C-alpha cells in the first residue's frame, strides 16, 4: 500500500453511495407501480393525509417530509389540480393554509396502495422481512443523526 488510504472516509462514502443507488432504484420502481398520474412524492403526501388525518399546513408537511416549502407548494398544487386534496385558507392566521384529502384523493390513494401491494410483498418475500427489519432502525438512527446535525447547523435547534 503506497498511499495510506483513509478507510473511515471510504466507509461513509460507501454507505452514502449504496443509499443513493437504493433511493434512485426504489423511486423509479415505485413510480412505475403507483399509478399513471401519481409520483412517489404525491403519493407519500396523500398517504400521510389519509393515515394521520388532514388539516396540516404545507409548511408542516414540508418539515415532515424533510422537504423545502417551495417543493411542498408544488406537490400540493398538483394534488389540488387533480382534485385529490382541498386547500382551505386559515381564519385565525391568514398566512396559513390547511390541506385536506378529498374523497377522490382517498380513492386514488387506495387504488395506488392496491397496485403497490403485490410488488411490496414480493420485495419482502424475496429480500426478506428480517433484513428489512434490521435495516430500518439503523437507517432511522442515521437519518435522525444527519437531520439533527443539519438543524444545529441551520440554527433551528
Which residues contribute to the site for DNA (CB under 7 A)? 24, 28, 39-41, 57-60, 66-71, 73-78, 87, 90, 92-98
Q: What nine digits make up the cell of 84?
A: 385529490
Closest CA to 40 of 113, 131, 106: 113
Site pattern 115..154 for a copy of itself (x: CB under 8 A): -xx--xx-xx-xx-x-xxxxxx-xxxxxx-xxx-xx----
Task: Point out which span in 28-36, 53-61, 77-85, 89-97 binds a copy of itself (CB under 8 A).
Answer: 28-36
Least CB distance from residue 133 to DNA, whole Å? 26
Site for a copy of itself in 36-55 (CB under 8 A): 44, 47
| Angstrom distances, CA of residue 75 to CA of 42, 85, 142 | 6, 10, 26
Least CB distance from residue 89 to a copy of itself, whole Å? 30
154 touches 146 (CB < 8 A): no
Among 2, 6, 42, 97, binds a copy of itself (CB under 8 A): 6
Q: Does 104 bind a copy of itself (CB under 8 A)?
A: no
Closest CA to 116 of 56, 26, 54, 48: 26
Q: What gap in Å lies between CA 104 and CA 133, rounded to an integer?
A: 33
Q: Reduced to 3 states, what is the DSSP secondary structure of residue 61?
A: helix
Least CB distance from residue 18 to a copy of itself, whole Å? 4
Residues 6+ apart with CB under 8 A from 113: 47
Q: What nine digits make up the cell of 155?
A: 440554527
Interface residues with a copy of itself (CB under 8 A) are: 6, 8-9, 11-30, 44, 47, 65-66, 113, 116-117, 120-121, 123-124, 126-127, 129, 131-136, 138-143, 145-147, 149-150
Amino acid at each position: 500500500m503506497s498511499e495510506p488510504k483513509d478507510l473511515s472516509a471510504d466507509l461513509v462514502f460507501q454507505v452514502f453511495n449504496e443509499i443513493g443507488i437504493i433511493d434512485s432504484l426504489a423511486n423509479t420502481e415505485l413510480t412505475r407501480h403507483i399509478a399513471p398520474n401519481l409520483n412517489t412524492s404525491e403519493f407519500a403526501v396523500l398517504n400521510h393525509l389519509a393515515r394521520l388525518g388532514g388539516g396540516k399546513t404545507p409548511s408542516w408537511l414540508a418539515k415532515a417530509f424533510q422537504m423545502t416549502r417551495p417543493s411542498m407548494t408544488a406537490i400540493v398544487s398538483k394534488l389540488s389540480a387533480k382534485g385529490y386534496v382541498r386547500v382551505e385558507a386559515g381564519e385565525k392566521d391568514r398566512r396559513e393554509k390547511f390541506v385536506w384529502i378529498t374523497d377522490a384523493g382517498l380513492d386514488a390513494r387506495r387504488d395506488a396502495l392496491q397496485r403497490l401491494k403485490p410488488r411490496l410483498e414480493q420485495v419482502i418475500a424475496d429480500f426478506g422481512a428480517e433484513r428489512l427489519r434490521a435495516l430500518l432502525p439503523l437507517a432511522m438512527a442515521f437519518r435522525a443523526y444527519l437531520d439533527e446535525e443539519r438543524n444545529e447547523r441551520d440554527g433551528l435547534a
